[in-house]
Amino acid sequence: MSTLLRVKLRRDLRASWSRFVLMVVAIAVSLTVFGGMLCAWAAIGRETGGAYLSTEPASATIVLDRGVTPERMASVLAAARTRPGVREATGRTQFEGAVEVGGTVLDIPLQVFVAAADDPMRMVRFDLGQRGRWPPSGGEILLGTDSLRLLGVAVGDSITVHGPDGPVRLRVAGTVYDPGLAPSPQEQRGRGYVSATAVALPFDQVKVQVADPEGRARDRVVAVATEVGDWLRREQGLRVAEIQVPEPYAHPHQWQADVLLLSLMAGGAAALLLSTILVATMLNTLFTRQIPQLGIMKAIGARTGTVGRHYLVMISLVAAAATLIASAPAVWIGRTLLGTLLTTLGVRPVSLAAPWWAYVVILVAGLGLPPLMALPPLVRASRTTVRAAIDHHGAASEPGGLAVRLGRVPRLDRGLLMALRNTVRRPARFWLSTGLLAAAGAVFVAGMSLEAGVDAITREEAARRTWDVDVQLAAPAAREAAVEAARRVPGVTRAEGFGVMPVGVAGPRGFPVTWTYPDQGHGRITLIALPRGVTTFPKLLEGRALHPGESGAIVLSRTVRKKTVPALVPGDDVRLFIEGRVTSWRVAGIVEERGGDNVYVTAEGLAAAQGRPQQVDRLRVYTGGHDERTRDAVAAAVRTALADAGITVRSAASVSRAEAVGEGHMGPLLLVLLGIAVPLGVLGVIGLASTMSANVLDRTREFGIMHAIGARPRTVRRIVAAEGLLLALAGCVAAVVPAVALTWLLGAGLGNLFMNVPVPFRISVPGAVIWVVLALLGAALATDAAATRASRLTVREALAHL
């Protein structure tokens, strides 16, 4: 670049420094968001995948109908390792029981994983934390690191675990870090690890690893596990109750994090694209103002390539400055977001740094996209001929057709009329400004509306939970005895008993195969036996509901059908594996549920299938008062009453605890949209400021004439300010249809991902009002500089304007 062009470049940057600052800010804000999301997304798969694989997870868990001794399991495993496709095998068992601390039985259950004392931990292993060692002694237990605070205990304390064989007192000998499980606080469940010497239970789980690369395909894992199940039945005399095959080598919540980050990154990419379009538009306005200068440069010998390089350097400087400003915040946001999400997943990061290619993408996007988008106006300006420059008389200010029609509106304030006409004078500029504001408003309102939909779900679930206390029994008990013991408690108005147990669902042939993870929560299919007179039931989609007291009929949730036998329709037969026993049922209907994979039968039907009197292991207790104090008091009294009746209670707690579990899963939804709305809102304000600045420059002569004929500065200022407010209102109006559509799309998409059903469609009126107020405030701020300049414009400056 020649010396003269360098001088011109410096003068151009100095003369339009505010415009260039807006360009840099627009690109930097959107690049920061995009880069942060990209860094987090690029690293989260590595961290979650690495942490999950470090546990050497089982490809499949074959659940036996009844356990065997550790010695028998050892011989079975030795033979299982020789089966085709099996790389490794181990035997385990687990149970969930109440935990007692300091004489108080906690409402938080404890899930206990049991392994042989001589287990080499070649698979399904965990890392030992504070003072942890394996195997712990017979009177010791290891707790998950995040379970300590949840249970309110510390290393060295003693707890009493109520297991299948009664209470066992154990000392907390250390901690365990197990990234293969969802965090305890999120699941509201403690995690404990003991050896078979502490809890004398038979092993009922055969965990196998399928050899790579077949082990990466779930269909192949199912085939190998099914063959092993047939072999166990045929040659070992063991009956299989269920085969659990989760998504191979994937953390139970990893897909949620991926969806969140991909959504945020898509929003950041859209914001980056819009910012570069905005910058290209602002540059086009600048190039138009400099057409006379271009004519002079061409007249004295400047070539098209020389002029093009000059402007290319200009936009490259803007892109470089924005990239430099955005790089550090993008990395920081990426690391912070990644750390937060990994904490949510219960994963300790090895490194928060993104892979090298993520930084390259940020640099390429920041340095390359703005010049690329600005290329059309740049080429057009550099090709301006001397004749075209001579014929140029400044920006046209002739109002368009809409502006002319607005001028015919009777009894309209002349200042407001001028503001209306000037707002739509430049259609392309008008639509760019309103489009940016509309995009930000649509995303913001959709985010608030999605939150309203989630709140509606919470209220709906709370309305359906008309009972006050949930009681889980440690073992099934006679229905009449348990219900009557609860009913006699003072303050209890009603009690209902349910049978709740895990089951396997299969078609006419084969083993039941589920997506259940090792925590036995994610992907587990649960059977619920409904008593007579139950008042709550999910929404029916196909077929019919259960008739009171009928046997042999079953209702499945839509997700259970999808994951087990997709072709099932009402009237078909299905097999349930209940406690290792195969039973046949006729499908009565299909229901829709928000979360949970459940099947429903009547209490009489379950008793008939099991060939024994009705039993319950879950109670719903209704109280006269619905406040938390009454609920807690009744829960404690019900626990005592059931214990006096010889029934061991695993947990008794207010239904508000179920809401805490739901919040742990639903919390990230709002983050998706609000994280996108912020940069789009900033871009909208910048676009509005750019539009008003360009409009004032276009009408410099007009403002000069107004001042010459006696217009006061405050009158001119009011007109320009009104233009900005009208643009903001136009953006709010333009956001209505996109906001409604986006709310519906995101409610359907995210609802199906997180809860298996769409989020109820709600439009947040408070969210819309908040956005209108924010848009008007932003318009006032964005218009202030342009309005001030217009009000202070002198007649001499107007005459000197080309």
pLDDT for 454 equals 75
- 68 Cβ contact partners less than 8 Å away, ≥ 6 residues apart: 76, 202, 203, 204, 238
- 429 Cβ contact partners less than 8 Å away, ≥ 6 residues apart: 281, 691, 694, 695
Within a 10 A sphere around the Cβ of 672, how many other Cβ atoms? 22
In this prediction, residue 434 has a pLDDT band, given cuts at 50, 70 and 90, of confident
pLDDT for 113 equals 92
Six-digit token string for 64: 């036996």
Closest by Cα among 582, 752, 661 to 182: 661
| 180 shares a domain with 48 | no
Closest by Cα among 76, 96, 123, 41 to 233: 76
What three-state secondary structure class fits 185? helix
In this prediction, residue 396 has a pLDDT band, given cuts at 50, 70 and 90, of very low
- Tell me: pLDDT of 149 over 50: yes
Closest by Cα among 184, 180, 108 to 143: 184
H helical segments located in 346-426: 356-382, 386-391, 401-406, 414-423
pLDDT for 422 equals 66
What three-state secondary structure class fits 429? helix
| 96 shares a domain with 240 | yes
- Tell me: pLDDT of 401 over 50: yes
DSSP-assigned states of every residue in 528-563: EEEPTT----PEEEEE-PPPTT-SSEEEEEHHHHHH
| 423 shares a domain with 370 | no
Token look-up 């589920």 returns 514
pLDDT for 172 equals 92
Antiparallel, parallel or unpaired: β 513-514 and 240-244: parallel
Six-digit token string for 466: 């008309």
Distance in angstroms (rounded) separating the CA atoms of residues 159 and 540: 44
Specify the length of the chain in residues: 802
pLDDT for 664 equals 47
pLDDT digits (tens, 9 = 90+) for 27-86: 888 888 889 889 988 898 888 888 888 888 999 999 888 888 888 999 999 999 999 989
Mean pLDDT of the chain: 80
pLDDT digits (tens, 9 = 90+) for 80-119: 999 998 999 999 998 888 888 888 878 788 899 999 888 8
- Tell me: pLDDT of 136 over 60: yes
- Tell me: pLDDT of 426 over 50: yes
In this prediction, residue 795 has a pLDDT band, given cuts at 50, 70 and 90, of low
Percent of the chain with pLDDT over 90: 12
Q: Of 339, 371, 392, which residue constitutes the final position of a domain?
A: 392
pLDDT digits (tens, 9 = 90+) for 506-518: 776 667 887 777 7
What three-state secondary structure class fits 576? strand
- Tell me: pLDDT of 794 over 60: yes
Identify which of 181-185, 247-251, 289-293, 545-549 has the greatest average pLDDT: 545-549
pLDDT digits (tens, 9 = 90+) for 586-632: 999 998 877 668 889 998 888 888 888 888 888 989 988 878 888 88
| 648 shares a domain with 660 | no
| 534 shares a domain with 440 | no
Distance in angstroms (rounded) separating the CA atoms of residues 518 and 724: 58
Element (H, E) at 618: strand 615-623
pLDDT digits (tens, 9 = 90+) for 471-501: 888 778 888 899 899 999 998 898 888 888 8
pLDDT for 734 equals 84
- Tell me: pLDDT of 208 over 90: yes
CA 465 to chain centre: 25
Distance in angstroms (rounded) separating the CA atoms of residues 655 and 476: 21
| 188 shares a domain with 76 | yes
pLDDT digits (tens, 9 = 90+) for 644-684: 888 888 778 887 765 554 444 445 555 655 666 677 667 66
Q: Is 634 exposed, middle or buried (0-12, 13-18, 19+ CB in 10 A)?
A: buried
Answer with the residue of higher pLDDT: 221 or 688. 221
Distance in angstroms (rounded) separating the CA atoms of residues 177 and 236: 35
Distance in angstroms (rounded) separating the CA atoms of residues 747 and 156: 47
Answer with the residue of higher pLDDT: 779 or 171. 171
In which domain, by residue range, is 505 found? Answer: 468-654
pLDDT for 364 equals 92
Q: Of 377, 392, 407, which residue constitutes the final position of a domain?
A: 392
Q: Is 571 exposed, middle or buried (0-12, 13-18, 19+ CB in 10 A)?
A: exposed
| 347 shares a domain with 315 | yes
Answer with the residue of higher pLDDT: 311 or 174. 174
Within a 10 A sphere around the Cβ of 476, how many other Cβ atoms? 18
| 697 shares a domain with 642 | no
| 326 shares a domain with 445 | no
- Give the least confident one: 149-153, 394-398, 510-514, 544-548: 394-398
Closest by Cα among 560, 550, 620 to 591: 560
Number of domains composing the chain: 4
| 570 shares a domain with 477 | yes
| 376 shares a domain with 258 | yes
CA 224 to chain centre: 34
pLDDT for 613 equals 87
- Give the least confident one: 206-210, 302-306, 788-792: 788-792
pLDDT for 91 equals 92
| 376 shares a domain with 332 | yes
Six-digit token string for 461: 């679930």
Q: Of 654, 682, 708, which residue constitutes the final position of a domain?
A: 654
Average pLDDT over residues 736-742: 85
Distance in angstroms (rounded) separating the CA atoms of residues 46 and 351: 10
pLDDT for 207 equals 93
